[in-house]
Structure 1
Amino acid sequence: MTATLRLTEALMARPSVTPSDEGCLELIAERLSALGFTCERMDGGPADFRVANLWARRGCGDRPTLVWAGHTDVVPTGPLNAWTSDPFVPSHRDGKLFGRGASDMKTSLAAMVVACEEFIAAHPKPAIDIAFLLTSDEEGPANDGTVVVCNALRDRGERLDWCIVGEPTSVERTGDMIKNGRRGTLSGRLTVKGIQGHIAYPHLARNPIHMVAPALAELSGTVWDQGNAFFPPTSWQVSNMHGGTGASNVIPGNVVLDFNFRFCTESTPEVLQQRVVDILHRHSLQPGVDFDLAWTLGGRPFLTTPGRLVNAVRAAILSETGIDTELSTTGGTSDGRFIAQVCPEVIELGPPNATIHKIDECVTLSDIEPLKNIYRRTLEHLARMSQEQALA
C-alpha cells in the first residue's frame, strides 16, 4: 500500500459529511507541520453549522506561491442498505477503492500532501512557496468556508500566484481533462401576484400563471450570449414552479418560479438581471404590484487562459501519463470561483468523476499514484520556471 493510498483511506474512514470535518484537517495539518508549514485554523460559521478551515503556508510569502485547495467534507451517503459496503469503511473490489469521498475528493487531498512530502524531500529549499487552503464547507452552503479564508488573505495582502483545486475533473483516466474555468451561477425567485377565485368566475379573479406565461415563453427562448472559445453560451432554466391550492376549481392567488442562469464571461450578472426585468415589463408585469423578484449570485465565472500554470500542469500530465490533456469549463461551480478573486491563475485537476455523489462512489486504484505524481511534477515545473526567472 502506497503512502497516498494509506492517507486516502485514513481520510475516507472519517465520516465528514458537511460541515463536519471529523479531524481530517488535524491529520493533514500534522503532516504539513512536519514539512515546515505554518498551519492556521480559520474556522467559522454559527454554532449549529461550524465550518473547519485550514490555511497552511511554507515560505516567507515573498516568492511565487502555489496553493493546493480542496475540501474535506463529503455529501450524505443516501440509504446505507444501497451500498455494497459501508461507505466509511474503505473497501477494495475489482481494482477499485470504494467509499464516500473516494473520488470527491479525499484521494486528491492525499495526493497533494504526499506530492509535497516527496517534492520537499528532494528540494528542501525550492524557489516557490507552497500553501494549502482547505475547508469542510464546499458541498454545502459554502458561506463560511473558502470564501472566508480568501477574504482574510486578501485583507492581509498575502501573495497567491497559482492554485490547483483537487476537484475530480478527469473522465476516463486521471489527467485527461482539467478545468481552466467555470461558469457563474445566478439564481432568481419570481413571485407573480394574481387574485384567487372560483375557476367558474374568471372575471372575478386574476390567474398569475396566465399572467407570467408570455414572459416565460420569451425568457425560455432568449439567446443571452453566444459564448466564446472557452465557454458555451449562457443558459437559463426554470428549476421549480409552484402555484395553486391543490384544488381543481380554484384560480391560484400567486405563482412562484425558481430559475437559474449558468453564465459565461460574455455576460455579467447585472446585465442578465436587467434583461429579465425588461422582459417582465414588456409583458405588463410591474414590480411590487404584479411581481417580486429576488436574486442570489452564487458565483461569478472565472477563466485561466494558457500560461505558466496551465503549461506546467499540461507538461506534468504528459510526462506522467502520455496524455495531451483537454481544457474544459463544463460542469457546475466549485470553490475556484472564490479563489479566482484573489489568485490570478486557478485550475482544477483530480481523478475521474463518474461516481461522484453516487451510491458506491469509487476511484480506480491505478489512478491514484499518477495523480500524486502529476501534482509532484507540477511543483517541479513551477519551481524550475521560478528559479530560471530569478536567475535571468
Structure 2
Amino acid sequence: MASTVAALTQELVAVPSHEDETAVGNHIEDWLRRETDSAITRDDAGNVIARAGAGENSLALVGHHDVVEPAPSQVAGPDEYVVDERDGRLHGRGTADMKGAVAAAMLAFRDAVETLPESAGDGELVFASFVGEEVGGVGARHAIDDGFAPEYAIVGEGSTGYSSPGVTDVAIAHKGRRGSTITAHGSAAHASEADAGENAIYRATDAVDHLRELEAPAVEVAGETLSGSVVVTEIEGGTAWNVVPDRCEITVDERTVPGERASLEAVDELEGFEWTVDQDLPPMECGDDGFADLVLEAADTAQTGSPELVTKPHATDAGWLSQAGTECVVCGPAEPGEAHTESESVSIAVLERCQETYRRALESWL
C-alpha cells in the first residue's frame, strides 16, 4: 500500500498511459476501492469517479491520468515508464502533468472521507480522474454529457510558481484555445495566363491582413489583465510552380478569454472563404469569491509562502466544467515549464503541500 504522496505518485507514473489509460485507471480504481468507503464508478470513456456523502452540494477534486507521449529516456520498457527520485523531486512523464496532483487528490479524498459521517451535513465529496485531457478534454466532456455536474471543483493542474517561485497559488481564471482553419477558394489557371484564374493564395493574404487588424479581447481578473490573441501559424496552398492555386488554407491559433471572442466569424462571411473550427477549448473564470477564498486560505495554511489568486495561460478541463456550470479553481503542484518536457519533474514537498491544501479545502467546505 502506498502510504505517501511520493510513493503513490511513483506507482501511477510508472504505468504507461499516453495511448491507453486503462491500466492506470485500474490502479486508481483499485486503490480507491481498497482505501475509501465511497461509491466508485468507471464510465464508458474510462473516467474514474468516486463519491462520498449525500446532498445537493458537492465539491470535486478533479485531475486526469492520461499523459502526452514520453521521450525515449522516459520509457523503461513496453509496460513501464521511468520514474526516479533525485534532489527532492520525482522525475518522469506525468509527474507534473498530472499524476502527482491525482495522487495528492486521492489521499486528500481518502482522509476527508474518513471524517465525513461526523461533519458532512448535506455535502458530497467527489474525486474524479478523467481520460483524454491531452486530446481535447474527451473524458471531461463525456462525464459532463453523462451528468457529472458538481457545484464546485478544484482542478489539480499546475499553479505553483505563478506569483513567486515555489509558491502554490490558486488560479481563478485561465485562457481557452480555439484552433481553426480558414480556406480561401479560387480558380486554377496556367501561371503564364494568371488573369484567367483566381489566385487563392492572394485571397488568403487578404484574410491574413484582416486577422492582423483584429483586436484581441482582454478581461481584468484578480488584479491583472488576461489577454487573448489571434495568430496565423500555418499556411498551405498550391499544387505546382506553374499553376495558379485554387485553394489555400490558413491555420489560426486563438487564445480566448472568459466572456469575449475575437470576431473570426467575419471571415466566413467574405466571398470565397470558408471558416472551420477544429478545436475549441473553453476558458474558465470562477464566479464565486467565497469558494476561491476558501481554497486560497487552505493553500495559505498549507505552506510558508503567501499564495495569491492568479490567472493561468493554459486551457484545462476546468474550462469544460465551468462551461457546464461548475464553479472552478485550479490549484496544483506543477510549475511553469515542466509539463510535456523530457526533463519533466515535480517537487515532493509541493506534492505534500497540495495534498494538505486539498484536505483542508474539503474539510473547510464541509
TM-score bin, normalised by smaller chain? 0.7 to 0.9
Does the residue aligned with 1:55 lie in a helix, a strand or coil? strand
- 1:124-163 matches, within 5 Å, as 124-127=117-120, 128-143=123-138, 145-153=139-147, 160-163=150-153
> Are residues 1:14 and 2:26 paired?
no
User: 2:210 aligns to what?
Assistant: 218
Q: Percent identity?
A: 24
**1:27 maps onto 2:56 in alignment:** no
Quote the residue 1:387 is aligned against. none
What is the alpha-carbon distance in structure 1 between the residues aligned to residue 88 and residue 49 of structure 2? Answer: 34
Cα distance, 1:301–1:224 mapped onto 2, change above 3 Å: same
Q: Give 2:356's aligned amino acid.
A: N
Task: Name the TM-score, length of structure 2 as normaliser.
Answer: 0.88
Note the alpha carbon deviations across 1:201-243, whole angstroms, 9 max, x for none.
Answer: 3222322121232332121122143433455233211121101
Cα distance change, pair 343–214 in 1 and its aligned pair in 2 (3 A):
closer
Classify 1:228/1:277 alpha carbon distance in 2 versus 1 (closer, same or farther; 3 Å).
farther
Q: How many residues align?
A: 355
Alignment of 1:203-214 (within 5 A): 203-214=195-206
After TM superposition, the structure 1 stretch with the greater mean CA deviation from structure 2, 298-307 or 63-72, is 298-307
Q: How does 1:273-292 map to 2 (within 5 A)?
A: 273-277=264-268, 281=270, 286=271, 290-292=272-274
SS of alignment partner, residue 179 of structure 1:
strand
* CA deviation after TM superposition for structure 1 residue 375, in Å: 1.1
The letter for the 1-side match of 2:276 is A
Alpha-carbon contact 1:175-1:350 (below 8 Å) kept: no
Return closer, same or farther for 1:299/1:254 CA change in 2, 3 Å cut-off. Answer: same
- 2-side partners of 1:85 and 1:325: how far apart? 37
Alignment partner for residue 345 of structure 2, among 362, 371, 375? 362
Partners of 2:28 and 2:274 in 1: CA distance: 47
Map 1:365-380 → 2, pairs under 5 A: 365-380=348-363
Q: Which residue among 82, 85, 91 is the counterpart of 1:89?
A: 82
Gaps of 5+ in 1: 45-51, 384-392
* 1:308-348 CA distance string (max 9 Å, x none): 32111111111111333233333221111221134431011
Given candidates 291, 295, 301, the residue that maps to 1:313 is 295
Aligned residue runs from structure 1 range 87-236, under 5 A:
88-122=81-115, 124-127=117-120, 128-143=123-138, 145-153=139-147, 160-171=150-161, 175-229=167-221, 232-236=226-230
The correspondence of residues 314-353 of structure 1 with structure 2, limited to 5 A, is 314-353=296-335
Distance 1:193 1:120, change over 3 A: closer
Give, in angstroms, the shift of residue 306 of structure 1. Answer: 5.2
CA separation in 2, counterparts of 1:183 and 1:210? 32
Shift in Å at residue 17 of structure 1?
A: 1.0
Partners of 1:244 and 1:43 in 2: CA distance: 43
Whether 1:299 and 2:281 are equivalent positions in the alignment is: yes
AA aligned to 2:21 is D
Q: Is the 8 A contact 2:236 2:248 kept in 1?
A: yes
For structure 2, which runs of at least 5 residues remain unmatched after alignment?
Answer: none
Deviation at 1:294, TM superposition (A): 1.7
The answer for the alignment partner of 1:42 in structure 2 is: 43
CA contact (8 A) 1:240 1:258 kept: yes
Distance between the aligned counterparts of 1:175 and 1:301, measured in 2?
Answer: 23
Which amino acid letter does the alignment assign opposite residue 302 of structure 2?
A: E
3-state SS in 2 of match to 1:125:
helix
Q: CA deviation at 1:37?
A: 0.9
Query: Judging changes above 3 Å, is the alpha-carbon distance between structure 1 residues 226 and 338 closer, same or farther for their aligned structure 2 residues?
Result: closer
CA distance in 1, matches of 2:76, 2:279: 39
1:79-112 CA distances to partner (integer Å, 9 max, x unpaired)? x15x598881321122221111110111111111
RMSD (Å) for aligned C-alpha atoms = 2.5
Is 1:258 paired with 2:251?
yes
Q: Write the deviation string for residues 44-75 of structure 1: whole angstroms up to 9, x where unpaired.
A: 3xxxxxxx112211112x14211011111111
Residue identity opposite 2:23 in structure 1: G
CA contact 1:182–1:333 (8 Å) conserved in 2: yes
Q: Is the 8 A contact 1:74 1:139 kept in 2?
A: yes
State the AA in 2 paired with 1:239: T
**Cα distance in structure 2, aligned partners of 1:89 and 1:225:** 42
Distance 1:295 1:305, change over 3 A: same
Whole-angstrom distance in 1 between the partners of 2:296 and 2:116: 21
The separation in 1 between residues aligned to 2:278 and 2:75, in whole angstroms, is 39
Q: Secondary structure at 1:298's aligned position in 2?
A: strand
Query: What is the CA distance between 1:2 and its match in structure 2?
Result: 5.3
Of 353, 370, 382, 2:365 maps to 382
Matching of residues 46-61 of structure 1 within 5 Å: 52-60=46-54
Give the AA of the match of 1:328. Answer: V
